[in-house]
């Protein structure tokens, strides 16, 4: 029996659907199935709309469970005819992203991944991190699904090639002196004309070549420059360039060479386990794996591998910074010519899609499959063991090494900092799933303790923090860490018990020999242990946060002056005045016209400054 002749559909609606089916064109296009409320259930493409859409309304014993469930909910459909199958593919991608239909394969983590952007349209290009591709003439590299790897790449590449990362609009923006990046050798300071435009653009060109994977040509070019410097008797510059070339050669050797694939290619691997799948794209450039991107996907109806692979291509390539001439897939697909045409449109050049069955290329695809299996297994292990919580492997290692009550998904760490017994402060950092959550960071000024008493200071801070948690009926983190030994640990345990948190796991981490202190004894872990590395990261972050706060208070104290009393002069303007004149005495003696050269100071500020010092002199003379 036809879907449109059973009793579940009202006669009027059934007649309307039959009429729409008769009007379907025999042309390529996209169709959208909808429920009774008009919500889009599924978006698909077809070579011939009339045949494909009608098939959903005809009885069949060969339907898979997903299609069977979908058909029961279809109350209406729309369609859009296109000029070609490739146009239908492009439109299908757009509509899936717009409607996020329940019956299409979807990403588990649908978010904007970062890119490295090089603003080639500027006179002095810069490298920055962005989250969106724009048709602005810039060069984009990414998307980076591993943000930490992207940050490491940015840190090395920008520093090695000395390309700016600032936001100055050069050459229009004017500054008096170069910033810290120039001082530490990470920028050649085009902002103050310490490098000409031609030389700077050579640096940018080499940076682009490095990110493209053409680092061997960069090494050759730098060696030629080094030999020229030596020939010109500029031995110091030649030695500096020699050291940088060695650094670059060391860095690029980490990229794994791919035997039998010496060209630029993307290798796509895919594994599926039930309703979940993971797709991996290995970016091979110049015969070496440059970066790896992975995408976790889900389809509750356990869709065929081809659908997951299609979704991998849809997700990755519209936001890929560059597309190579060769794409290797692990599984064959329908309409391969359509997918090829789509990729060629995105690339602006020829693309070959190949599904190798044997040989070296097949071995590379199997490598991508193994990477995908590892990523999927890693995610599933976390969700299975920890009820879907995001848990870092270091968390699991901590529980095993220290015998904690449970895997510490969340960790709180406290640190005390003072300078020569003054300005004692404390910090609290919060980690979840092995990563810092800075919205949960806290900092404290010690109120009741006189002098450098770290034990009493720690007790005060813990009492204030856990007292508030108890008032709000909230719980501490799974693991509380204090920076110190058994003395700090004893104070911390008494505070936790006082506020009803006696069962909370608590440890101390002493800097001396990195000893972990527990109430039942000390524990020493291997320096290679992921548990110790995680604790060190947490402790060092707490120490950094405390030191930063301490320095802020110290700077505020040392920069406090009579300038604070002038109306309209805040901290930024005060520092600008001191930076320009050097002292309050020089500001007091300055002529009115001298203030026009101070950045951020307007005519109203000048009037307030002059009026303040005039009044101050008059009061002093009256006294």
Residue ranges per domain, the chain? 11-104, 115-252, 265-385, 394-555, 562-622
pLDDT at 528 over 80: no
Contacts of 619 (CB under 8 A, 6+ apart): none
Q: How confident is the model at residue 252 (pLDDT cuts 50, 70, 90)?
A: very low
CATH code 3.30.420.300 for 11-104: no
Q: Which of 3-17, 410-424, 456-470 has the lowest mean pLDDT?
A: 3-17
DSSP 8-state secondary structure symbol assigned to residue 257: B
The class of domain 394-555 in CATH terms is alpha beta
Take residue 510 and report the two structure tokens written for it: 């002493």
pLDDT score of 582: 77
The pLDDT tens digits for 581-623 are 877 888 888 888 888 888 888 988 888 888 888 877 766 665 5
Of 468 and 235, the one with more pLDDT: 468
The predicted pLDDT at position 251 comes to: 46
Give the per-residue pLDDT at 593: 87
What percent of the chain shows pLDDT beyond 70? 83
What is the average per-residue pLDDT within 478-504?
A: 88
Mean of the pLDDT values across residues 239-259? 59
Sort 25 into a burial class: Cβ within 10 Å, 0-12 / 13-18 / 19+. Answer: exposed
Asked whether the predicted pLDDT for residue 33 surpasses 80, the reply is yes
Give the separation between CA 264 and CA 284, rounded to whole angstroms. Answer: 6
Largest CA distance in the chain: 107
Place of tokens 């889900």: 298
Cα–Cα distance measured from residue 40 to residue 294, given in angstroms and rounded to the nearest whole number: 28
Q: State mean pLDDT over 88-105.
A: 83
b/e burial code for range 583-592 (CB count within 10 A of at least 16 → b) = eeeebbebee
What rounded mean pLDDT belongs to the chain?
Answer: 81
Classify strands 106-107 and 76-81 as parallel, antiparallel or unpaired.
Answer: unpaired
Residue 562: its pLDDT value, please? Answer: 72
Asked, colleague to colleague, whether 11-104 and 562-622 share their fold, the answer is no
CA distances from 246 to 200, 236, 423, 498 (A): 21, 16, 45, 58
Whole-number Å distance between alpha carbons of 620 and 623: 5
CA 516 – CA 318 distance, rounded (Å): 49
Is residue 455 pLDDT above 90, yes or no? no
Picking from 318, 212, 191, 312, the residue whose alpha carbon sits closest to that of residue 263 is: 212
Query: Between residues 153 and 346, which one has the greater pLDDT?
Result: 346
Q: Angle, to 10 degrees, between the axis of helix 215-231 and the axis of helix 197-211?
A: 140
Measured from the Cβ of residue 321, the count of other Cβ atoms closer than 10 Å reads: 18
Angle at alpha carbon of residue 532, lines to 527 and 536, rounded to 5°: 105
What pLDDT, on the 0 to 100 scale, is given for residue 339?
92
**Mean of the pLDDT values across residues 21-45?**
90
pLDDT band at 258 (very low <50, low <70, confident <90, very high): low
Dihedrals φ, ψ of 100, to 5°? 50, 60
Task: Please give the average per-residue pLDDT across 17-23, as a whole number.
Answer: 85
CA angle 599, 125, 322 (to 5 degrees): 145
The stretch 16-22 carries a mean pLDDT of 84
| pLDDT band, very low/low/confident/very high, at 480 (cuts 50, 70, 90) | very high
Specify the CATH number of the domain 562-622. Answer: 1.10.150.20
Question: Quick one: tokens of 400?
Answer: 């095993």
Query: Has residue 260 got a pLDDT over 70?
Result: no
Beta bridge partners of 129: 116
CA 147/CA 38 separation, integer angstroms = 38
How many other CB atoms sit within 10 Å of the CB of residue 100?
13
DSSP E strands in 377-497: the ranges are: 410-419, 422-432, 435-436, 442-445, 479-482
39 φ/ψ angles, rounded to the nearest 5 degrees: -75, 135
Top pLDDT among 394 and 201 is at 201
- pLDDT higher than threshold 80 for residue 510: no
Q: Return the beta strands (E) in 420-548 as ranges.
A: 422-432, 435-436, 442-445, 479-482, 505-510, 515-518, 521-523
Among 296-305, 553-562, 584-593, name the most confident range.
584-593
Is the pLDDT confidence value at 253 over 50? no
Let me know the angle formed at the C-alpha of 519 by 517 and 521, rounded to the nearest 5 degrees: 60
Distance separating alpha carbons of residues 8 and 14, to the nearest angstrom: 10
Residue of higher predicted confidence among 556 and 604: 604
pLDDT of 558 above 90: no
- How buried is residue 319: exposed, middle or buried, by Cβ count under 10 Å (0-12/13-18/19+)? middle
Please work out, in degrees rounded to the nearest 5, the angle formed at the alpha carbon of residue 234 by the alpha carbons of 183 and 123. 50
| Short-list 505, 449, 450, 457, CA closest to 484 | 457
Q: Residue length, the chain?
A: 623
3-state secondary structure of 404: coil
Q: Could you give the 3-state DSSP secondary structure of residue 15?
A: helix
Q: What is the pLDDT of residues 322-351, one digit of tens each?
A: 889 999 998 888 888 999 999 999 888 999
265-385: what fold? Nucleotidyltransferase; domain 5 (3.30.420)
Q: What is the structure's pLDDT at 529?
A: 80
Statement: residue 129 has pLDDT above 80: yes
C-alpha–C-alpha distance, residues 308 and 333, integer Å: 11
Closest CA to 30 of 56, 52, 54: 52
């Amino acid at each position: 029996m036809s879907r449109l002749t059973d009793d579940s559909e009202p006669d009027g609606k059934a007649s309307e659907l039959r009429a729409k089916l008769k009007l379907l064109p025999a042309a390529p296009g996209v169709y959208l199935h909808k429920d009774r409320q008009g919500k889009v259930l599924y978006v698909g493409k077809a070579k011939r709309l009339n045949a494909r859409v009608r098939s959903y309304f005809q009885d069949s014993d060969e339907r898979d469970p997903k299609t069977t469930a979908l058909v029961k909910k279809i109350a209406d459909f729309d369609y859009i005819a296109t000029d070609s199958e490739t146009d239908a593919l492009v439109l299908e991608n757009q509509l899936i992203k717009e409607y996020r239909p329940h019956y299409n394969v979807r990403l588990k983590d649908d978010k904007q991944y970062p890119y490295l952007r090089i603003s080639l349209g500027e006179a002095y290009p810069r490298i920055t991190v962005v989250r969106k591709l724009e048709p602005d003439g810039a060069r984009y590299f990414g998307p980076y699904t591993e943000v930490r790897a992207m940050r490491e790449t940015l840190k090395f590449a920008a520093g090695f090639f000395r390309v700016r990362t600032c936001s100055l609009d050069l050459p229009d923006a004017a500054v008096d002196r170069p910033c810290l990046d120039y001082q530490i050798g990470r920028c050649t300071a085009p902002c103050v004309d310490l490098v000409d435009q031609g030389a700077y653009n050579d640096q940018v060109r080499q940076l682009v070549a490095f990110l493209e994977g053409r680092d061997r040509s960069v090494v050759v070019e730098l060696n030629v420059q080094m030999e020229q410097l030596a020939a010109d008797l500029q031995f110091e510059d030649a030695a500096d360039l020699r050291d940088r070339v060695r650094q670059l050669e060391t860095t690029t050797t980490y990229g794994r060479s791919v035997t039998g694939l010496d060209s630029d290619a993307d290798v796509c691997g895919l594994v599926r386990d039930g309703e979940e799948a993971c797709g991996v794209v290995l970016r091979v450039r110049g015969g070496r794996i440059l970066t790896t991107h992975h995408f976790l996907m889900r389809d509750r109806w356990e869709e065929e591998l081809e659908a997951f692979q299609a979704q991998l291509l849809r997700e990755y390539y519209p936001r890929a910074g560059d597309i190579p001439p060769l794409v290797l897939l692990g599984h064959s697909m329908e309409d391969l010519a359509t997918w090829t045409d789509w990729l060629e449109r995105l690339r602006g050049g020829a693309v070959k899609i190949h599904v190798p069955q044997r040989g070296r290329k097949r071995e590379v695809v199997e490598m991508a499959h193994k990477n995908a299996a590892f990523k999927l297994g890693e995610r599933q292990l976390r969700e299975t063991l920890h009820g879907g919580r995001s848990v870092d492997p270091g968390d699991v290692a901590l529980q095993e090494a220290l015998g904690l009550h449970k895997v510490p998904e969340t960790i709180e760490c406290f640190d005390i900092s003072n300078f020569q017994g003054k300005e004692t402060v404390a910090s609290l950092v919060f980690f979840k799933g092995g990563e810092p959550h800075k919205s949960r960071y806290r900092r404290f000024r010690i109120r009741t303790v006189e002098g450098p008493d770290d034990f009493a200071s720690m007790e005060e801070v813990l009492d204030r923090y856990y007292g508030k948690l108890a008032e709000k009926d909230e719980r501490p983190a799974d693991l509380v860490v204090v920076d110190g030994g058994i003395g700090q640990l004893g104070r911390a345990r008494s505070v936790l018990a006082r506020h009803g948190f006696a069962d909370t796991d608590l440890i101390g981490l002493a800097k001396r020999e990195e000893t972990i202190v527990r109430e039942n004894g000390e524990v020493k872990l291997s320096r290679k242990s992921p548990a110790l590395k995680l604790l060190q990261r947490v402790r060092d972050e707490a120490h950094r946060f405390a030191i930063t706060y301490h320095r802020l208070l110290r700077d505020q104290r040392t920069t406090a002056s009579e300038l604070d009393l002038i109306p309209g002069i805040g901290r930024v303007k005060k520092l600008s005045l001191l930076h320009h004149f050097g002292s309050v005495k020089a500001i007091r003696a300055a002529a009115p016209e001298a203030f026009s050269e101070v950045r951020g100071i307007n005519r109203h500020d000048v009037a307030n400054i002059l009026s303040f010092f005039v009044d101050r002199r008059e009061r002093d003379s009256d006294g």
